[in-house]
Amino acid sequence: MKGGMSGQDLVITGLGALTNLATGRTRLSECMTAKPDQRQQKDYSLAGFKAMPLMRDKRHLKSISHSDSVGMAGVSVLLDDAKLNIGDYPAARIGVYVGSPSPCASDNDAYREAIIASHKGDGSYDLATFARLSHEARPVTLLTGLTNNVLCYTSLLMDARGPNSSYMASAVAGQLAVINAMQRLKRGKIDLAIAGGFAFPTDPIYLAMLTKHGLTQRGVPNKNYETVPFGLDPETIGMVLADGAAFVAIERREQARCRGASVLATLVGGAVTSDGLGPKHFHSDGRSILRLLHKVVEQAGISPADVGLVVSGAAGITDLDLAELNALQQFFAGVTEAPALAVPSKLWGNLLEAGGLMEIGFLNEIYQAGAVPASLSVAVPGSRFGAKIDQTKPYVLLLRTSAWGEYSCIVVKREDP
Answer yes or no: are the C-beta atoms of 324 and 205 closer than 8 Å: no
The pTM of the whole model exceeds 0.85: yes
The answer regarding whether domain 10-102+147-414 maps to CATH 3.40.47.10 reads yes
What pLDDT score does 144 carry? 64
More confident residue, 112 or 347: 347
User: 268 pLDDT exceeds 90?
Assistant: yes
* 161 burial level (CB within 10 Å; 0-12, 13-18, 19+): middle
Residue 141 in this model has a pLDDT that exceeds 60: no
pLDDT at 105 over 90: no
- Residues 301-336 have pLDDT tens digits of 999 999 999 999 999 999 999 999 999 999 999 999
pLDDT score for 73? 98
pLDDT in tens, 336-390: 999 999 999 999 999 999 999 999 998 999 999 999 999 999 999 999 999 999 9
Question: Are 317 and 215 within 8 A, CB to CB?
Answer: yes
Task: Give me the pLDDT at residue 146, please.
Answer: 72
Domain borders along the chain are 10-102+147-414
How many other C-beta atoms can be found within 10 angstroms of the C-beta atom of residue 230? 21
